[in-house]
Structure 1
Amino acid sequence: MNAPRIASARDARRLDEKAISDYGIEQTLLMENAAIAARNVIQERWSIDGSSILVICGTGSNGGDGFALARHLHVCGAMVTVLIAGNTDKISGGAKINYQIIKNLSLPLCMLEPGLLSAFDFDSFDLVVDALFGTGLSRNIEGRLAELIEGINGSSVPVLSLDIPSGIHADSGEILGCAVKADATISFGILKKGNLLYPGYAACGKLYYGRISFPPEVVEDESIRFKINLPPALPEREPTGHKGSFGKVLVIGGSRAYRGAPLLAAKAAFYSGAGYVRLAVPSGIAGEIFPLLPEAVYLEMECSGILEPDNKAALLEQAAQADAVVLGSGISTAAPAVQLVRELIPEIESPLLIDGDALSALASYEELSKSRRYPSILTPHPGEMARLLGLSIGEVELRRTESAAEAAERYQAYIALKGPHTIISRPTGESWLNLTGNTGMGSAGTGDVLAGIISAFIAGSLSAEEAIKLGVYIHGLAGDIAAEALGEVSITAGNIIDYLPKAIKIYPERMKCNPYGGRIENLELRI
């Protein structure tokens, strides 16, 4: 199964033009297929025959999709009203052809004129179709158009958006002033960034995807380097294997204030298949955490409660024996720990996952990771990413995909930018968006769990790229299982570890039958 590519607005327009100019697929045919895909969604989720449906159309291509859909709904027995927002003299191309057909059918048409909305009853309809703006919107919505969207959102009627909810930026997912809150959205041709990045993803409701007859040569355009994360198979377990052959993980971290962080990483590594886990922590906390994970080997570092440069030689010796190293879980931002981290990063001769406070130590010192011979993985949350790139958190959140790709190139490392729909990037520019996980995972310690999972998969023989893609997916899947059992509000990092065995157990079947986790419904076979 090929991972679906995710397009920017510019990419989407280019692919439309490519389908039309290179393959002779006329715009009217693309609109017809889009209308059929949307009709199928309506028939599946609601009903058509006898339903009263309001189709709200702009004057661009998205409105053309809406005009074509209105005709299909009319043919299928719906009572259709078309509301047009904009100057009809500006309608052109395929949209103009479909608009003329609507006029010929004598369907009820109304224009968004001053005073219309004050007496307009959205609740008199069974369904509203949003075909107002497509992927080309780049300005804030104001005036009557904002009032129109407020009217849609203020009604109790379900809403289907075509391609992307009106008011959502197709590249960033941000809300441009106001946006339609859809119950479902059908994305046409290729998925758009704004369909999948928050808050746009939340505005989409249930997300459907229809190819609308785009040839594989179009949707598999290799210049689009952002895809949905469809990770590899789990590492194979040799029947004659033992604790040494199933991978050795070293976790370096911990401090007086953060005793639990390295413990969470180590426990997650065990639950993800590592055969042997060593915990290198300050001697003062080893005795306290040992009863919580007696399976681990504890390397008590002599220090004053915080790891320091004097521990470097012993840590490098242990790292040389490990198949994967986690550096940073709870290590603190005290000066001795920061100095130690900066000395360790370029000298550790193993695949290295850098997380937590170690990321703060690495910020602005990209030469440390760039000089490494072995793979590096960074797993920042937006605040840590902001420090890595010298940006504000707001700038990172607004450009999540670009931020992850920039950090991967600057630090020559694999990146997992954590958050709703984690972004994974590799140094050569490719990126993936992960669909598992939920808001309940936004709590202390969940990042340490992710670090342990990824390190176990590396130790279990996967490449760094395979391990980060699989680890992020499994981490989110365990969180989803925990949320289903406990509710999102009550999830802790420990709960995610508890549900790791079930996530790993169901993963192979999940990838066969439901790789998108129920978050995207593929209509390709029905249009």
Structure 2
Amino acid sequence: MVSVLSQELIFQAVKSLAPPLSYEGHKGQSGRIGLIGGSKEYTGAPYFAAITALRIGADLAHVFCPPEAAPVIKSYSPELIVHPLLTEDTPLSVESISPWLPRLHSIVIGPGLGRDNAILRTVKELLKLAKEQEKNIIIDADGLYLITNDPQPIKGYPNCILTPNKIEFDRLYHKVFSSPPSGSQYQTETMDLARALGGVTIVRKGLHDVISNGQQVLSCEEEGSPCRKGGQGDLLSGCLGVCSYWAQLAKEHNRLTLKETELPLTLLASYTSCLIVKKCARLTFKRLGRSLLACDMVDNVGGVSCELFDQ
């Protein structure tokens, strides 16, 4: 198991993840992240995921959402590129959104998506296209509802990361194995589910985030916050969109201190993302206590990232 690697070695790999900053760089090199989500009822979740991606260090964040959600999401920040193209007209939506996919390094699916069946059909087709283009795919929230109903679209795709909380994990586990998890064998159950899904990476969120690709397992035991306000998982999905791309860059430029065989890229990206979000949660809770909100955590993302990557 990869968990036998020393924390010092893993931490050194984490620190090598971020691409070096250079005055000679150009916009887009540090990440162009796409997010498919949002709905009339849920506009905060896609914002939290996308703005976190930018705060960590991505250059551009695109949000593809229903037309009724676009003005609200855009009003939260002028930094986000918001496309009101996600509709119940599946052929038209796919035709409108698909030209953007080749430009993006990672696709985050699910924050604020809702469960409208027609919208989910559109998202399912976009998921297939992203997979064909070998994009990093992160699936969270109602994206996991889509996958729980039909795991086939992501089965066997190694560049896919799922981020279930307790309830979402239990539902997906029951779907695959036709029985509920015991709730006590966290590492074994997470690894079994990841293996059954053909080697996708699962980030099982909890007191300790358990991460597995079906072959290896890590546990992020960084102290977080006892306050579980909504939106914290959205920060994680945005972070994963960036870190999964950065891990690929680090491998391409030979910056990793661990070989991929020792620590697969999706596990490294997942561990790094969990570390950042838990650090943000702890710092924010220390300052605000039970009044902590996800938007307060966003304010700490940049500082935590700089401390982690730029020491």
Q: Tell me the TM-score range normalised by the shorter chain.
A: 0.7 to 0.9
Give the counterpart letter for 2:296 in structure 1.
Answer: N
The answer on whether the counterparts of 1:436 and 1:480 sit within 8 Å (CA) in structure 2 is no
The answer on whether the counterparts of 1:383 and 1:393 sit within 8 Å (CA) in structure 2 is no
Structure 2 residue aligned with 1:258:
42
C-alpha change, 1:393 and 1:275, in structure 2 (3 Å) is farther
* Per-residue deviation, 1:381: 0.5
Deviations for 1:238-295, whole angstroms, at most 9, x for unmatched residues?
4122221111000110001111111110000000100011111111121122121111
Give identity over the alignment, percent.
22
Structure 1 residues 171-190: aligned runs within 5 Å:
none
Structure 2 residue aligned with 1:436:
222
Counterpart Cα distance in 1 of 2:205 and 2:128: 24
SS across alignment from 1:295: coil
Counterpart Cα distance in 2 of 1:245 and 1:379: 26
More helix by share: 2
Counterpart Cα distance in 1 of 2:105 and 2:156: 19
Deviations for 1:102-146, whole angstroms, at most 9, x for unmatched residues?
xxxxxxxxxxxxxxxxxxxxxxxxxxxxxxxxxxxxxxxxxxxxx
Equivalent in 492, 496, 503 of residue 304 of structure 2: 503
Structure 1 residue aligned with 2:274:
472
The answer on whether the counterparts of 1:5 and 1:228 sit within 8 Å (CA) in structure 2 is no
SS across alignment from 1:433: strand
Structure 2 residue aligned with 1:414:
201
Equivalent in 97, 105, 117 of residue 315 of structure 1: 97
Equivalent in 476, 485, 492 of residue 293 of structure 2: 492
Gaps of 5+ in 1: 7-219, 221-226, 511-527
Structure 1 residue aligned with 2:119:
337
2:174 aligned with 1:390: yes
C-alpha change, 1:393 and 1:267, in structure 2 (3 Å) is farther
The answer on whether the counterparts of 1:382 and 1:393 sit within 8 Å (CA) in structure 2 is no
Counterpart Cα distance in 2 of 1:371 and 1:468: 18
Please give the root-mean-square deviation of Cα atoms over the aligned residues, in Å.
2.8
Give the counterpart letter for 1:479 in structure 2.
Answer: A
The answer on whether the counterparts of 2:32 and 2:61 sit within 8 Å (CA) in structure 1 is yes
Deviations for 1:398-426, whole angstroms, at most 9, x for unmatched residues?
23212211221122211110111110111
Structure 1 residues 66-465: aligned runs within 5 Å:
230=11, 232-233=14-15, 234-239=17-22, 240-301=24-85, 303=87, 308=90, 310-348=92-130, 349=133, 350-363=135-148, 365-370=150-155, 372=157, 375-390=159-174, 395=181, 397-411=183-197, 412-427=199-214, 429-460=215-246, 461-462=249-250, 463-465=265-267
Deviations for 1:139-190, whole angstroms, at most 9, x for unmatched residues?
xxxxxxxxxxxxxxxxxxxxxxxxxxxxxxxxxxxxxxxxxxxxxxxxxxxx
Q: How many residues align?
A: 285
The answer on whether the counterparts of 2:39 and 2:66 sit within 8 Å (CA) in structure 1 is yes
Deviations for 1:415-473, whole angstroms, at most 9, x for unmatched residues?
1101111101113x211111124343522111111000111122333543321111111
* Per-residue deviation, 1:481: 1.2
Give the counterpart letter for 1:381 in structure 2.
Answer: N
Give the counterpart letter for 2:141 in structure 1.
Answer: G
- Which segment is superposed worse, 405-414 or 378-387? 405-414
* Per-residue deviation, 1:309: 5.7
C-alpha change, 1:408 and 1:394, in structure 2 (3 Å) is closer
Counterpart Cα distance in 2 of 1:396 and 1:333: 28
C-alpha change, 1:400 and 1:228, in structure 2 (3 Å) is farther
Give the counterpart letter for 1:273 in structure 2.
Answer: G
Counterpart Cα distance in 2 of 1:386 and 1:340: 26
* Per-residue deviation, 1:337: 2.4
Counterpart Cα distance in 2 of 1:302 and 1:327: 12
Deviations for 1:287-320, whole angstroms, at most 9, x for unmatched residues?
122121111111111636xx85641233332222
Give the counterpart letter for 1:469 in structure 2.
Answer: Y
Give the counterpart letter for 2:31 in structure 1.
Answer: G
Give the counterpart letter for 2:240 in structure 1.
Answer: I
* Per-residue deviation, 1:474: 0.9
TM-score under structure 1 length normalisation: 0.50
* Per-residue deviation, 1:4: 6.2
SS across alignment from 2:233: helix
User: Quick one: higher RCO (CA 8 Å, sep 6+), 1 or 2?
Assistant: 2
Structure 1 residue aligned with 2:261:
none
SS across alignment from 1:415: strand
* Per-residue deviation, 1:386: 1.3
The answer on whether the counterparts of 1:483 and 1:491 sit within 8 Å (CA) in structure 2 is yes
C-alpha change, 1:470 and 1:479, in structure 2 (3 Å) is same
C-alpha change, 1:5 and 1:263, in structure 2 (3 Å) is same
Give the counterpart letter for 2:208 in structure 1.
Answer: H
C-alpha change, 1:376 and 1:398, in structure 2 (3 Å) is same
Counterpart Cα distance in 1 of 2:287 and 2:233: 21
SS across alignment from 1:347: helix
C-alpha change, 1:251 and 1:491, in structure 2 (3 Å) is same
* Per-residue deviation, 1:336: 1.2
C-alpha change, 1:396 and 1:344, in structure 2 (3 Å) is farther
Counterpart Cα distance in 1 of 2:155 and 2:9: 27
